[in-house]
Chains A and B, each alone.
Chain A
Amino acid sequence: MGRAPSYLELSLFSVMWSEHCGYKNSRPLLKRFPNQGRRVLQGPGENAGVVEIGDGWALAFKMESHNHPSAVEPYEGAATGVGGIIRDILAMGARPVALLDSLRFGPLSEERNRYLFREVVRGVGGYGNAVGVPTVGGEVEFADAYSGNPLVNAMCIGLIRVDDLMRSSASGEGNLVVLLGSKTGRDGIHGATFASDELTEESESKRSNVQVGDPFCEKMLIECCLKLLGEGMLVSLQDLGAAGLTSSASEMAASGGVGIEIETDRVPLREGGMEPWEVMISESQERMLAVVEPDKAEAVLKMAERYELVGAVVGRVADHGDLRVIHEGEVVGTVPAGYLADAPVYEREVVRPTYLDEIPSLSPEDLPQPENYNEVLLKMLSHSNLCSRRSIYGQYDHEVGTDTVVPPGADAAVMRIKGTKLGFAAAADGRGRHCYLDPRGGGAATVVEAYRNLSCLGAEPVAATDCLNFGSPEKPDGYYQLAECIQGMAQACEAFGTPVVSGNVSLFNETDRGAIYPTPTVGMVGVLKDVNRHSTPAFKREGDMVVVIGKGWRSSLAGSEYLEVVQARIAGRPPEPDLTAEKEYSDLVRRLVADGLIDTAHDISSGGEAVALAEMVLAGGLGVEYERVKAGLLADGHGGRRTDMALFGENGASFLVAVPEERWDELQKALGGVPHDSIARVGGDGIKIGNLIDVGLDDLREAYERDLFETHAPEGGHIG
C-alpha cells in the first residue's frame, strides 16, 4: 500500500491473512473442486452455497470447523461453532432448518477425551436446542490420532425462496452500515490468528478470551433478520465471524466494489476502554452487519428493539474502495478492502510421504481366523465406532420445527418442506483412517459414503459442502495429504455431479502427540420429489427377502473396521473406490425407492455385511435368517474367500434391500444386469447366518445400544 501500516492496520492484516480467514495454503487447491451445476444458485465465495430444489425453493448450506476453540473450551467451543454456522446461513436470507455435527475424539479410555466428548455434545445440544434448529444428523469417530485435538465440524442447512436470496456485497454510496445483535466485548481478540496455531501448553493460557455463546440472543437475531428481510428493509447482510467487523466490513466492501467507513466509537460495547483495533477484530458472537438505506435505518433499529437486540448505525458505504476506521472523528486506519479480502497464497510442492510406503501391507493369510463369530459380531457392534449413536442424538432436539420425517438413526436424515410434496435429505461423513492409509482414495471414499447414504433414503444427491481438517500444510506430509484428499474428493464430486458449493478449512491440527488423521468431512444434501417415498434401514415385515446389491462379496479387510477392532491392526490399502459402480448402484437404489418398489435399504459400510444386517435388525426389531443354501456359499466367503472377510470385509458399492416375496420378480427385473443376490429372509428374533452366527435380539441390543457417556456426569467443570 506504499507506506508503513499503523498498528491498527497491522492487526487488521494479521487477523485477515491468517489461514482461518485467508486460506493461504488451501485456496489454490480448492480450485480443483467442481462448483458448477444446473441447480447451483450460489457457489463458493458467499457465506454459504445455495442450490435450487424445485417449487421455487432453495437450500443454503455450509459446514464449518471449530476444532481449536473446542479443544480449549469444549462446551463453548462447540456451542459457538453451531452459532457461527447458523449465522452464515442466515446471512443468505434463509431460515436455518437443520443442523448436523461431525465429531472426532481420542479414545474414551482417556479421561480428558471423555470430558471433551461429553462437553462438546452438551455444547452442540445446548446451543442448537435453545435456538430451535433441530440437529438431525452427524457422525462421530474415536481414534488415538485425535487425542488432545478433537474435531468439531458443524453443518447448517437453511430454507429459502429462490427469489428471496440475499447477498453480502455492499452497495449504494451513503447507505448506512448497521450492527445488529449483542454488544461487542474483548471476546477472542486475536482468536482468528490463534485458531491457526498448533495447540501448545502456552495456548492453554489463552483461555481468558474464550467466546461464550448466547443462543437466546441468536434466536432473536434470526427472527429479527428474517423479519427485516421479509419487509425488504436490508440492502445486504453479513455475519460477523472470525476477525469480526474487520472481515465482515472488508468482505462486504470488496465484493460490492465499494468502500466502508466504520466509526468504532459508535459500536455498542460491553466493556469500557476498548481500543479501536480491539473493536475492529473482536469476535463477540451473535452479531450481524447490514447495509441499510438511510431512510429505513430508523425502522431497522426499532425492529432490533422489538427483538431485544442491540442495534446501532456504525458506519456508511463510501465510493472509495477502502475499509476506513474512524475514531472520534479521526481516520485511524485505511486499508484497501481488496487487500484484506485477498490474502497472498502459497503453492507448495507435493511430495509423497514415506509413511505411506511404511504402512504394513496386509496378507490375510497370517491373520488368525476367529473361532466364535457370535462374539466377533457382538464385539464389533459394541465398539465405540460402530455402536448406536442414540446417546448422542438423544441429547439433541431433532424434532423442533415439525419437519423431521426421518430422524437420526438412519443413513441420512429426511426433512419435509411444509406445503409441498418436496423433501430433502442430509448426511455428514468422514473417513479419517482411510484418508491416512490412502489420501486420494480416502478423499473419494468420503464423498462416496455421503452419496450412498443419501441414496439409501431415496434422495437424489445434489451438492456438497466440506470441512478440510488437516495437520500442518507447512510439513510435506500434511501438504501431500491435503492435496491428495482434495484430488480424490474432487474426482468423486465430478463423477457424481455433486458440486462443492461451500466449505471451510482447518489446518494445523497437531499437538505434541503429532498430527490428526487427515480428515476431510463432507456434508451432502439430496432432494426427494415426494418426501413420503423414502426408505429406511429398518426391516419392516416378516418374510421379506433380503437382497444384496452390488459388490457385496468382493470385499476386503485392508484398513477395515474389523481389522482394527478385532485383529487390532491398522494395515493395508483399502480398495480403490469404484466411482462408476458407486454411482450406478446408488442411482439404481434411489430409483427403486422413488418407484415405491422398496422401503427398506441400507448401505454396506464400516463393519461390512454382517454389521449392516445387524443394524437393520436392530432398527426394525425384526430378525433375519440366511437361507441355508446361501449360508454355505457365504461360509466360504462368496466363492473361496475367508469367512471373516465375507462377513466383515468392506468394499463399498453395495447395498442391502428388503422386499416382500411377491415383488421379488419385479425387483429382479428392475435390477437387470446389476450384480445382486437374494441372501436372507426377515424373520426370527435375532440374526442367524447359517451355522456361523446366531445371536438373539436382546444380546444384539445390549451390545449395540451403549451409552457412550458416564451416567450422571456433572456440568461444566474442567477435568484432566
Chain B
Amino acid sequence: MGGRLLRIGVTVFPGSNCDRDALYVVGRMGAEAVELWHADPDLKSVDAVIVPGGFSYGDYLRPGAIARFARVMGPLEEFAKEGGPVLGVCNGFQVLTEAHLLPGALLRNTHMRFVCDRVRVRVETTSTPWTAALSPGEELTLPVAHNEGNFFAEPGTLSCLEDEGRVVLRYLENPNGSANDVAGVCNEGRNVVGVMPHPERVSDPALGSDEGLRLLRSVLVGAGV
C-alpha cells in the first residue's frame, strides 16, 4: 500500500470507554483514525482494526458476550478471516475471544479485585502485525486495568498456543492469575492479536512512556508504510 496513509478503524460499542484514547493514538501513529460504530455493518475499507477497551454493554452477563453480536462484528469477522490485522485491547480482547476469533477466555482475576497498575511484560513473538517492530524477548512496561484478565484455555489449547509461538505477550509479574502468565495471544493466522495491557496508554512521552506507541506502530511496518 506504499505511502498511502493507513486507515485504522476503531470499533465503538455501547460502553466502550477507551475508544477515544485509541482514536487519538491512531493519529499519533501517523495513520488515519476511522470510527466504526457498532450498529453499522461496514468497516469503511480500513486497513486494520483496533477493538478498544472499556465495558461494552457494561460487561453485563460476561465481558464481550453481548458486543460480539453487534452488527459491525460480521464484517469484522470476514476481515479477520481474510487476514486483516485486528488488535483487541482489554475488553477488545474479551470481545474477540467471545467471538471465537481468538482462543480461550478471560476469567475473573483470582484476587477478585479490579487491578489498575503498570506491569512488565515480555514480547514473546514478533511475527504478528502488532509486534513486528519490536524485538523478540524485549521487555515492556504496560498499563493494565481490568476485572477479568485471567486468561484460561483448555490444557490442550494452551500447549498448542505455546508450541506454535502464539503467546504474544507474557507477564513478568502476573497481575491476575492468568495461565502461563499469558498477557496476549494471537490466532492461527497470526493477524488477530488480543492483549490485556493498554498500549495506547503509554504512547506519549508526556505520560511517561511511548513503549505502547512502538508496539502499535508495528502494524505500519507490516503494511510497508
Contacts and interface: CB of A to CB of B under 8 A. Distances in A.
Interface of A: 125-126, 129-132, 214-216, 219-220, 306-308, 393-402, 404-405, 416, 418, 531-532, 709, 711-715
Given A130-B15, A418-B24, A216 B116 contact: no
Contacts of B58: 130, 214-216
Contact of A395 (B15, B20, B116, B207): B116
A568 B201 CA distance: 45
A397 B116 contact: yes
B116 A219 contact: no
B116 A394 contact: yes
Nearest to A391: B113
A389 B207 CA distance: 21
Given A132-B18, A398-B116, A400-B145, A216 B55 contact: yes
B114 A125 contact: yes
Interface residues of B, number: 35
Contact of B57 (A129, A216, A398): A216
A711 B198 CA distance: 26
A266 to B, nearest CB: 25
B145 A216 contact: no
Contacts of B147: 129
Given A129-B147, A395-B116, 12 more contacts: A130-B58, A130-B59, A220-B14, A395-B114, A397-B114, A398-B116, A399-B143, A399-B198, A402-B25, A402-B200, A711-B111, A715-B112
Interface in B78-116: 110-116
A142 to B, nearest CB: 20
Contacts of B200: 402
B67 to A, nearest CB: 11
B154 interface: no
Counting chain A CB atoms within 10 Å of each CB, the highest count among B115, B116, B145, B204 belongs to: B116
21 contacts: A129-B116, A130-B15, A130-B17, A130-B55, A130-B58, A132-B17, A132-B54, A214-B58, A216-B60, A219-B15, A306-B39, A308-B14, A395-B116, A397-B116, A399-B143, A400-B18, A400-B53, A402-B200, A405-B207, A711-B111, A714-B112
A216 B56 CA distance: 8
Contacts of B116: 129, 393-399
A436 B24 CA distance: 48
A688 B144 CA distance: 35
Nearest to A531: B206
Interface in B115-169: 115-117, 143, 145, 147
Contacts of B206: 405, 416, 531-532
B173 interface: no
Nearest to A130: B55
B188 interface: no
Given A129-B55, A402-B21, A216 B14 contact: yes
A404 to B, nearest CB: 7
Contacts of B18: 132, 400
A214 B149 CA distance: 22
Contacts of A395: 113-116
Contacts of B60: 216
A397 B206 CA distance: 19
Interface in B190-222: 198, 200-201, 203-204, 206-208
A590 to B, nearest CB: 20
A307 B24 contact: no
A188 to B, nearest CB: 21
Nearest to A712: B112
A141 to B, nearest CB: 22
A216 B207 contact: no
Interface of B: 14-15, 17-18, 20-21, 24-25, 39, 53-55, 57-60, 110-117, 143, 145, 147, 198, 200-201, 203-204, 206-208
B145 A129 contact: yes
Contacts of B143: 399
A340 B18 CA distance: 41
Contacts of A397: 114, 116, 145
A307 B57 CA distance: 11
Nearest to B15: A216
A312 B39 CA distance: 22
A400 B114 contact: no
A602 to B, nearest CB: 19
A418 B204 CA distance: 11
Given A130-B58, A394-B116, A400-B145, A712 B111 contact: yes
A416 B15 CA distance: 24
A117 B114 CA distance: 15
B24 A402 contact: yes
Nearest to A306: B39
A401 B15 contact: no
A531 B204 CA distance: 13
Nearest to A217: B58
A397 B20 CA distance: 16
A219 B19 CA distance: 13
Contacts of A396: 114, 116
Contacts of A306: 39
Contacts of B201: 399-400, 402
A474 B62 CA distance: 49
A665 to B, nearest CB: 31
A373 to B, nearest CB: 33
Contacts of A715: 112
A493 B57 CA distance: 43
A398 B115 CA distance: 10
B144 to A, nearest CB: 10
Contacts of B198: 399
Contacts of A129: 55, 114, 116, 145, 147
A18 B206 CA distance: 47
Contacts of A709: 113
Contact of B21 (A125, A308, A400): A400
A35 B114 CA distance: 39
Contacts of B207: 402, 404-405, 416
A119 to B, nearest CB: 12
A404 B201 CA distance: 9
Contacts of A402: 21, 24-25, 200-201, 203-204, 207
Contacts of B54: 132
B29 to A, nearest CB: 14
Nearest to A128: B114
A215 B54 CA distance: 12
Sorted nearest first, the 7 A-B pairs with minimum C-beta distance are: A132-B17, A216-B58, A130-B55, A397-B145, A402-B21, A395-B114, A397-B116
A402 B57 CA distance: 22
A531 B18 CA distance: 23
Contacts of B114: 125-126, 129, 395-397
Contacts of B203: 402
Nearest to B12: A223
Contacts of B110: 712
B113 A215 contact: no
A322 to B, nearest CB: 38
Contacts of A132: 17-18, 54-55
Contacts of B25: 402
Contacts of A401: 20-21
Contacts of B17: 130-132, 219, 400
Nearest to A403: B207
Nearest to A419: B24
Contacts of B145: 129, 397, 399-400
A571 B198 CA distance: 49
A473 to B, nearest CB: 38
Contacts of B112: 712-715
A401 B145 CA distance: 12
B62 to A, nearest CB: 14
A460 B98 CA distance: 48
A130 B200 CA distance: 18
A536 to B, nearest CB: 11
Contacts of A399: 116, 143, 145, 198, 201
